[in-house]
């Protein structure tokens, strides 16, 4: 990008037309990506809290959350590798927290693979605190670290 160019970041709700881009980012980010059909199921169930980040009209990240009783659960978050470390993940988190707050949520939780050091650093930077280990949480037997945040 040339000098003086300004990128415009927008956070908005997921639309079905975003599916291919979201799946591409998912596949670049995880060894066990969610199937596109599963992503559409999540949209149908939790459309208010399935958000995407757009830079100059291109989808570069997404977050999916849901409300369970009075608590918020972060199901997934990922940013295109080429767009990481510019605050987009943080902006997605803040936006989805606002949507959950509107629904009365004050407590959030999420799980992360014990091997995913980068994601754990990110979650700590955006205010999450480790609460314990979930043994064998993932399909391949890997443990998860449980994180919580109070809004």
The residues that touch ligand COA, with contacts defined as CB under 6 A, are 29, 77-79, 84-90, 112, 116, 118-119, 121-122, 125
What's the Cα-to-Cα distance from 131 to each of 97, 107, 121, rounded to whole Å? 19, 13, 15
Residue number closest to ligand COA, CB atom: 89
Question: Based on CB atoms, which residue is closest to ligand COA, 8 or 104?
Answer: 8
Smallest distance from the beta carbon of 22 to ligand COA, in angstroms? 12
Smallest distance from the beta carbon of 140 to ligand COA, in angstroms? 15
Question: Based on CB atoms, which residue is closest to ligand COA, 91 or 104?
Answer: 91
Contacts of 54 (CB under 8 A, 6+ apart): 9, 10, 11, 12, 60
Give the three-class secondary structure for 32.
Answer: coil
Question: Based on CB atoms, which residue is closest to ligand COA, 30 or 104?
Answer: 30
* CA–CA dist 138, 125 (Å, integer): 24
Smallest distance from the beta carbon of 148 to ligand COA, in angstroms? 14
Question: Based on CB atoms, which residue is closest to ligand COA, 12 or 121?
Answer: 121
What's the Cα-to-Cα distance from 53 to each of 85, 93, 99, 118, rounded to whole Å? 14, 11, 15, 20
C-beta separation of 114 from 103 below 8 A: no
Smallest distance from the beta carbon of 114 to ligand COA, in angstroms? 11
């Amino acid at each position: 990008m040339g000098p003086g160019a300004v990128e415009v970041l927008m956070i908005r709700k997921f639309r079905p037309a975003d599916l291919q881009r979201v799946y591409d980012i998912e596949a670049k980010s995880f060894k066990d990506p969610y199937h596109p059909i599963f992503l559409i199921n999540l949209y149908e169930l939790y459309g208010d809290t399935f958000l995407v980040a757009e830079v100059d009209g291109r989808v570069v990240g997404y977050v999916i959350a849901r409300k369970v009783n009075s608590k918020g659960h972060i199901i997934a978050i990922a940013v295109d590798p080429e767009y990481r470390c510019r605050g987009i993940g943080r902006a997605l988190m803040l936006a989805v927290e606002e949507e959950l707050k509107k629904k009365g949520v004050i407590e959030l939780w999420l799980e992360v693979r014990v091997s995913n050091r980068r994601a754990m650093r990110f979650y700590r930077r955006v205010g999450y605190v480790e609460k314990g280990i979930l043994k064998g949480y993932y399909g391949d037997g890997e443990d998860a670290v449980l994180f919580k945040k109070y809004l």
